[in-house]
Amino acid sequence: MASSDSLAFWTEALQLKGLRVVHVRRDAPTDPVRLTVAPTTELAVCPTCHHTCQLIHRRHESYPLRDLPFGPQAVELVVHSYQFECPRCGQFFTPAAPAFAPAAHATERFLAHAARLIRCSDLTNAAAFLGVPEKTLEKWYYDYVERQRQQPAAVRPIGAIGIDELRLKKKPSSTSP
């Protein structure tokens, strides 16, 4: 498999919106696959003046982040991010990446999976299964639950309208107010 085919495969397999895999590394069969991901575009909107910026002030590479395993194979992500300088207002900013949990070395989907495991079992077993230290997973879990609690509830469209059958069966009163 050619290098570009491998990168395209991992980009498609990860399904992280706005990111592409630029490098794959795996030293030994027991080591996790370490994927380096970068934004697909080098453009951002300034949060202060709301104008587009393409002036990159600095590039940053994250520590490895835990992601969902690919079958039995553990996956770690190294994220390249850009710090932009807005030429209009002079502000420096790094665009937020919603796929990655703040203050945790894991993706949001990894934490969602860990939360499901913890709810079905317990923290000790989930940590052992995921290969994460128990205290680390505990902190990540409570931070994740707090973020979920603070998010506004998703508004769902109306699927059905109920009719009060008892009210319909009653005869309308002859006197009206």
Please tell me the predicted confidence (pLDDT) of residue 1: 54
Torsion of CA 106, 109, 113, 114, to 10 degrees: 20
pLDDT category of residue 138 using cuts at 50, 70 and 90: very high
- Examine the pLDDT at 139 and tell me if it is beyond 90: yes
Q: Give residue-wise pLDDT tens across range 153-170.
A: 767 777 766 666 666 677
Please tell me the predicted confidence (pLDDT) of residue 112: 92
Give this prediction's pTM: 0.72
Report d(CA 173, CA 176) in Å as an integer: 7
When the pLDDT of each residue in the chain is averaged and rounded to a whole number, the result is 83
Please tell me the predicted confidence (pLDDT) of residue 171: 65
Length of the chain: 177
Residue 113's Cβ-count burial label (10 Å; 0-12, 13-18, 19+) is middle
Instruction: Give start and end residues of each alpha helix (H) in the chain.
Output: 3-14, 108-120, 123-130, 134-150, 165-169
Q: Give residue-wise pLDDT tens across range 80-91.
A: 888 888 888 888
Q: Give residue-wise pLDDT tens across range 5-57.
A: 888 888 888 888 888 888 888 888 888 889 999 888 888 888 888 888 888 88
